[in-house]
A and B are shown apart, each in its own frame.
Chain A
């Protein structure tokens, strides 16, 4: 079940947003829409679930 979670720290005002249950391109699109609404995030990272997908193909580059 797709969920968008907004976690607000009532003292610092910091808002942490997490998209859950939305896969692939749809997730990226939802994230873009949220960024348009809320502004650029200070930290932007994929969730554990994103990395845990076994079918993900990674591009490997050396140093």
Chain B
């Protein structure tokens, strides 16, 4: 992999973010000379000095492990540009039952490395920093190891209309197979699931927000799961069903694009006019393949 420098300009905020990977220190110093001293930003492999991140004030001794109103939190940080679309506030939980080889954050594996923090306290911190993010990402550790607490956290975030993304080392299929009501309800509520265990042999071209190429971006994951909670099922309105269908279509398009298809490059091999699309447009193909 070649060295890479990414400049992100935010015209509204008047901010420039510079991210570098495998770049010579001389070049990094030149950028700093031209743009001035920067502030450290979190990255996919978090830097060890992360003193400003929120770890909560709750006293562990006052909350039992079984209390779902608390969650084992490793840290909470803001302004992440790598953990989902836009700027994210990130809730990183402590404790992981998967422990992938080569994990970038092994320090999150033990629950004892985090603190049991009140979910309301986490929400308050996220609310307070509302201007600094476009959405919230929950990662770990393994968030679904604390499914009951995660459900409450997700529910409270969605009640405030936040875009919520969750990472899990478990696949959507294995999460659905648990037939756990909390897990199913989480999957109905979140906007994006990034699933699959990290595989250090598949880091090349992993894709946006992912650590390895086996991991998937799944928008509105409930559209692929079978609801087991009758109460939840009965509350799904036609509007929700329409949205689910739309989400499946959008996901299908994203998958097509990942495969190199586009409206001007039909999977059927049609030659397409520059200003048009072939009869096999995405919607037709999606219908044909039973995606919608």
Interface residues of A (CB under 8 A from B): 1-12, 20-21, 45, 48, 51-52, 54, 58-63
Task: Given A1-B86, A7-B4, A12-B2, verify A51-B9 contact (CB < 8 Å).
Answer: no
A63 to chain B: closest residue by CB: B270
Task: Given A1-B134, A58-B281, verify A9-B4 contact (CB < 8 Å).
Answer: yes
Interface residues of B in 1-22 (CB under 8 A from A): 2-13, 22
**Contact across chains for A4 and B276 when beta carbons are under 8 A apart:** no
Is B271 part of the binding interface, using a Cβ–Cβ cutoff of 8 Å?
yes
Determine, out of B39-47, B120-128, B143-151, B247-255, the stretch whose residues face the partner at the interface. Answer: B247-255
A interface footprint on B166-177 (CB within 8 Å = 1, 0 otherwise): 000000000000
**Contact across chains for B87 and A1 when beta carbons are under 8 A apart:** yes
**Contact across chains for B250 and A1 when beta carbons are under 8 A apart:** no
Chain A residues near B278: list those with CB within 8 A.
Answer: 61-63
Interface residues of B (CB under 8 A from A): 2-13, 22-24, 27, 86-87, 134, 246, 249-250, 253-254, 257, 262-263, 270-273, 275-279, 281-282
CA distance A10 to B281 in the complex (A): 38
Min CB gap A54→B, angstroms: 5
Cβ 8 A contact of A52, one of B3, B87, B254, B272? B254
Min CB gap B283→A, angstroms: 8
Chain A residues near B6: list those with CB within 8 A.
Answer: 5-8
B276 to chain A: closest residue by CB: A61
The tally of CB-CB contacts under 8 A between chains A and B is: 85
Chain A residues near B246: list those with CB within 8 A.
Answer: 54
The 8 A-B pairs at the shortest CB distance, nearest first, are namely A61-B276, A10-B3, A11-B2, A6-B7, A52-B250, A4-B9, A8-B5, A7-B6
Task: Given A9-B2, A58-B277, verify A3-B10 contact (CB < 8 Å).
Answer: yes
**Contact across chains for A59 and B276 when beta carbons are under 8 A apart:** yes
CA distance A8 to B6 in the complex (A): 6
Most interface-central of B6, B24, B271 (chain A CB within 10 A) = B6
**Contact across chains for A10 and B2 when beta carbons are under 8 A apart:** yes
Chain A residues near B3: list those with CB within 8 A.
Answer: 9-11
Min CB gap A51→B, angstroms: 5
9 contacts between A and B (CB under 8 A): A4-B9, A4-B11, A8-B6, A21-B86, A45-B262, A51-B282, A58-B263, A59-B276, A63-B271
